[in-house]
Structure 1
């Protein structure tokens, strides 16, 4: 049976990559939550609570939020 790896088993380069990716993920989430909190709920496709939960899903949540949640001035999806 294989031993489970821990953070101390990572190389310096791998640790650096994990830190950078975690920073990107956190930055995306903070930006998306800040945008969500400043937006009128009528400007969203769906509920604020639903989008807040979706944003919490790794990299994909904030990307989906920015791509799909916000309505344009005519009420449609952007793009």
Structure 2
């Protein structure tokens, strides 16, 4: 019979078992993620298609990927205009 490694044998903690700091960190990360998602979705809705690289529908789907999606959209999906002088 094969032995289980420590990583697979480790039981996931329930919410009640988490420390107060772990709960705070989890809630904070969730708020940040949700804020980024809402900001990206709102920007896609309001920004004209000409100012977005690629398809709006594809960027909407991409922003659903935690943290990476909205960050990628704001970094690569939005066309930047040179600063007016």
Structure 1 gap segments, 5+ residues each: 75-79
1:77: which partner in 2?
A: none
2:34: which partner in 1?
A: 26
What TM-score comes out, normalization by structure 1 length? 0.84
Residue 32 of structure 1, CA deviation: 0.8
Rg comparison, structure with higher value: 2
What TM-score comes out, normalization by structure 2 length? 0.79
Cα distance in 2 for partners of 1:65, 1:2 equals 36
Structure 2 gap segments, 5+ residues each: 1-8
Number of equivalenced pairs: 74
Cα distance in 2 for partners of 1:15, 1:33 equals 27
1:47: which partner in 2?
A: 55
> 1:25-77: per-residue Cα shift (whole Å, max 9, x none)?
11111111111100111211110110001111001111101000011347xxx
